[in-house]
Amino acid sequence: MADIRDSAIIDALRRQMSIAAAKQVVAAGNLANVNTPGYHARAVDFTAALERQMGGTLSLAGTAGGHLEGTVSEAVSTEEIDGLQPRRDGNNVQIDRELLTMSGAAGDFARAQTALAARFRMVRYALSEGR
């Protein structure tokens, strides 16, 4: 069985909380633009967010002679959501979908926060037990 250290658990919970917060921010941005003509709903690019949180970097590949190659350093990668039916004004934000996304992200954040608090309670108990 692999040895799991407290720091690895805390880092994993921190990453989960960061991604959940990013999902809420993007959903809130979509809701803020619900009446903006031509606005297309966005979502957190989970693969890019996970790779960034795991310490990797995203690389840009040049597909044509004039393209630059390099790495991406933005805080949260988002992508337009495909397959949503646009309204007559071209906006495709669906309020129910965004509220559901925010609720799910809030639940993910709360679960990670509860696990983190339990981990800290165990550490605090271990420290106070020696007195």
CA distances from 73 to 1, 3, 20, 53, 67 (A): 35, 32, 19, 12, 17
pLDDT in tens, 17-39: 999 999 999 999 999 999 999 99
pLDDT in tens, 93-111: 999 999 999 999 999 999 9
53 or 77, which is more confident?
77
pLDDT in tens, 68-82: 555 444 456 888 998
Q: Is the pTM of this model over 0.75?
A: no
pLDDT-derived band at 90 (thresholds 50, 70, 90) equals very high
Domain extents in the chain: 6-129
Place of tokens 């795991």: 54
Which residues have a Cβ under 8 Å from the Cβ of 101 and sit 6 or more positions away? 23, 27, 43
